[in-house]
Amino acid sequence: MNTWTARLENPLSARLRDPATTGAFGILLGAFAAFLAIPPIEARTVTWPILFGIVAAALGIWTVTRGRRRLGWGAVAAGLLGIGLGILATRSSTGNLESAFDATLVAQTLGFSTPLVFGAIGGMFSERSGVVNIGLEGMMLMGAFWGVYGADKGGSWAVGLLVAMGVGGLLALVYAFFAIHLRADQIVGGTAVNFLAVGITGYFFIELYNNNPIHNGVSLLPNVHVPGLPVNPDNPHGFVDFLGQAVGDLSILTWAGLALVILAYVVLFKTPIGLRIRACGEHPRAADTVGINVYVIRYGCVILSGMLAALGGIYLSEGPQGNGTFIFNMTNGRGFIALAAMIFGNWRPAGAAAAALLFGFSSALALKLQVYSQSAGTLFQILPYVLTLIAVAGVIGRTVAPAADGKPYAKQ
């Protein structure tokens, strides 16, 4: 109760040695090391980024030895990343750097993150209630196709959103029935969902559109123009133009995704319904004993996850990058990256969103670097999977899944 007063009474030196402080400082330094190498400062020697990176890593190790493993390893990683970026950046020419690290990188990072955020938050709800959702990829793919279909036939992107959520929810309902009522293995069921989605979307894409690109003029998801910011400045200069390029013209779903993260946090951790969801995921028997209907909660969460994943999918086809087209199997693993982001974020909304942003950043960087080196760009696509593999290996703190995640629950 009186921890903050107790902390104030401690001497300053003790507070500085607190692992939380050093860890956070290490991460900051690591970020700073990377920042040094890119515009506007652009250190032309490799010394400074490396120096800051090493200090950051050292602070990280300190933090680890003081017990805050997750924060500490984060700082180490940040420091190493800063070094790597610093070396990379100072080795290429200034002209290349300016076109790679500019405001559109921010916009693209947010854009690439959007479907991942929706998928990851959706998966989080499902897994927090105790149902593993490997089928995120399939639900996302369904949203991508049926969203375009709805927008095309309904004449409005809003119809597309509703159709996508409906179909995503429907597929999730089928999965939920098998996973919850029939107590089928959830990994098997999720795999089936992924197959089904590829088949159904592929089949109906040919049936309804004859495998041709969907014609132009489909109502697209609108972009939100932030008042006061220039949308596409001719000669970008200064901070306002930077902001305008970065966040002045983002899709409505990108903003909705950011809002969703906050909403998901509030719902999961600050409301009774969130407590019930978590209870079902941790100890369904106990939840059942106190009168929570485990099946209803799980059904609701799985269907919600299907709807959210479908929203992530519609962003791919109806968002600024998709432009109202559908391509066979267009999600191409994004549902699995969303799953990875959720795990990386330790089944928490903020963590999942941060991981989604990091993965989105690596995708955006991959796209940017493709111009200079195709192979370097491709390597950045691997980053999310490698990071997640390292995370589940327990190097950067241990990820802890909900205790009853993936276990079917049999009512008495």
Partner 1 sequence: MSDPGPSPTPEEAAETGTLAASIALKQRAGGIIVPVVTVVFAFVMSFIIVAATQHSVHTALVVFKEIFLGSGLNWLAHPTTNTFTSISAYNLSQTLLQTTPLILTGLAVAFAFRCGMFNIGGNGQYLVGLIVANWLGVDFAGLNPFLHILLCMSAGTLAAAAYAGIAGVLKATVGAHEVISTIMLNWIAYWTASWLFGAGGALQNSTSPTNPVSNQVSPGARLPDFWGKQGFQGLHVGIFVSLAAVVVFWILLNRTTLGYEVRAVGFNPDAAAYGGINVKKNFIRAMAISGAFAGLAGTLDMLGGAQNYQVGQLDIPFIQVGFIGIAVALLGRNTAVGTLLGALLFGGLLYGSFHGLGSSSVIDPTLASNLTYIIQGLVVLFVGADVLILYVWNSRKKARRRPRGKPAERVEATT
Residues that bind partner 1 (CB under 8 A): 132, 134, 174, 178, 182-185, 187-189, 191-200, 202-204, 206-207, 210-211, 283-285, 327-329, 332-333, 336-337, 339-340, 343, 373-375, 378-379, 381-382, 385-386, 388-389, 392-394, 398, 401, 404-410, 412
The span from the CA of 70 to the CA of 333, in Å, is 27
Least distance (Å) between residue 307 CB and partner 1: 20
State the nearest-atom distance from the C-beta of 405 to partner 1, in Å.
5
Give the end-to-end CA distance of the chain in Å, rounded to a whole number. 41
**CB closer to partner 1 out of 108 and 133:** 133
Compare residues 132 and 256 and give the one whose CB is closer to partner 1. Answer: 132
> Of 65 and 373, which has the nearer Cβ to partner 1?
373
Q: How far is the CB of 161 from partner 1 (least distance, A)?
A: 25
Q: From CA 138, how far away is CA 161, in angstroms rounded?
A: 17
- At 330, which amino acid appears? M
Tell me how far, at minimum, the Cβ of 270 lies from partner 1, in Å. 26
CA-nearest of 342, 408, 401 to 116 is: 342
| Shortest CB 102 distance to partner 1, Å | 24
With vertex at residue 34, the alpha carbon angle to CA 28 and CA 40, rounded to the nearest 5 degrees, is: 110
* Amino acid letter for position 192: A
Smallest separation, CB 212 to partner 1 (Å): 12
**What are the backbone dihedrals phi and psi of residue 15, each rounded to the nearest 5 degrees, phi first?**
-65, -35
Closest of 336, 347, 335, 302 to residue 179, by C-alpha: 302
- Residue 197 or 220: the one with the smaller Cβ distance to partner 1 is 197
Least CB distance from residue 189 to partner 1, whole Å? 5
d(CA 248, CA 256): 15
| Planar angle of CA 289, 291, 295, nearest 5 degrees | 95
Lookup result for tokens 């899944």: 401
CA angle 135, 140, 142 (to 5 degrees): 100
Q: What is the distance between the alpha carbons of residues 251 and 319, in angstroms, rounded to a whole number?
A: 7
Residue 52 or residue 205: which is nearer to partner 1 going by CB?
205
Closer of 156 and 378 to partner 1 (Cβ):
378
**Nearer to partner 1 among residue 275 and residue 392 (C-beta):** 392
